[in-house]
Amino acid sequence: MRAVLLSTVLGALVAVVPASAHHSFAAYYVEDQSITLEGVVRELQYRSPHAILVFTAPDASGRTQTFEAEWSNPRRLNSQGITANTLKPGDVVIVTGSPGRTASEYKVHLKGIRRPADGWTWGGGRRR
């Protein structure tokens, strides 16, 4: 009986507590490198496990590409004052981050962002 009760309680806890396991960003991004891209926001996908900023910017050859910048999780962003409406389509942004390991995928692990129009910035987990 105790074993059944213990299993039930542990099962309920596992179902309620969010998973804290996380993939390594280093598996997908070159974390010891940094790139800066100036572009135009297409959309902000404000969803778990990570918000994704989709924007267009010139690639290394000058051709406009659609980039995806993997940001933090929405709960953490919200605690820093960043909501689903902080960035809107058409906003010009300067994104800094680690490039994706596969260049043709146009992905970035977002480390900092600036909106020149009003001076808004976010970087390293802080909003300024």
Contact present, 74 and 48 (Cβ < 8 Å): yes
pTM of the model: 0.77
12 within a domain of the structure (yes/no): no
Q: Is residue 5 part of a domain?
A: no
Is 25 strand, coil or helix?
Answer: helix
User: pLDDT value at position 42?
Assistant: 98
The number of domains in the chain is 1
22: Cβ contacts below 8 Å, ≥ 6 apart? 49
Residues of the domain holding 72: 28-127
Please tell me the predicted confidence (pLDDT) of residue 25. 78
- Give yes or no for a contact between 98 and 24, defined as CB atoms under 8 angstroms apart: no
Give, for 9, the enclosing helix (H) or strand (E).
helix 2-16
Residue 101 lies in a domain: yes
| Phi and psi at residue 13, to the nearest 5° | -65, -45
- Express each pLDDT in 86-103 by its tens digit: 999 999 999 999 999 998
Residue 53 falls within a domain, yes or no? Answer: yes
Q: What is the mean pLDDT of residues 10-36?
A: 65
Residue 9: inside a domain: no
91 in a structural domain: yes
| Residue 6 maps to a domain | no
CATH number of the domain enclosing 121: 2.40.50.140
In a domain, 85, yes or no: yes
pLDDT of residue 113: 97
What's the half-sphere exposure (Cβ side, CA atoms, 13 Å) at 28? Answer: 14
* Range 41-65 average pLDDT: 96
